[in-house]
């Protein structure tokens, strides 16, 4: 049981770290879209916007996964304290 808790905690931390990195990458792509430039074509802007939205959506998904792991950990902790 203790190994399962440790594994779940590590997953929660990993999900959160990946989500933060993806959030930062998505913001950089979005900044590339909103900063004006004469050299960007319409296709470049569309690719950056799609990439930005994809990274942000994946980031949100990973934050949700991290939260679910945290809730499972809290439930497991409550179950252990009730058994004592």
Output the pLDDT for position 78: 82
**pLDDT per position as a tens digit, 3-23:** 888 999 999 999 999 999 999
pTM (two decimals): 0.84
Q: What is the DSSP letter of 36?
A: -
Mean pLDDT across the chain: 90
Task: Name the token pair of 70.
Answer: 């945290």
Classify the C-alpha dihedral 37-40-45-51 as positive or negative.
Answer: negative
Q: Which residue positions in the chain have pLDDT lower than 70?
A: 1, 81-84
Whole-angstrom distance, CA of residue 28 vs CA of residue 2? 40
């Amino acid at each position: 049981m203790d190994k399962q808790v440790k594994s779940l905690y590590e997953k929660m931390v990993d999900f959160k770290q990946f989500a933060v990195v993806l959030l930062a990458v998505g913001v950089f792509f979005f900044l590339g879209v909103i900063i004006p430039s004469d050299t960007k074509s319409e296709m470049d802007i569309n690719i950056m916007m799609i990439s930005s939205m994809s990274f942000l959506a994946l980031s949100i998904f990973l934050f949700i996964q991290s939260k679910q792991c945290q809730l499972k950990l809290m439930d497991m902790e409550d179950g252990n304290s009730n058994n004592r």
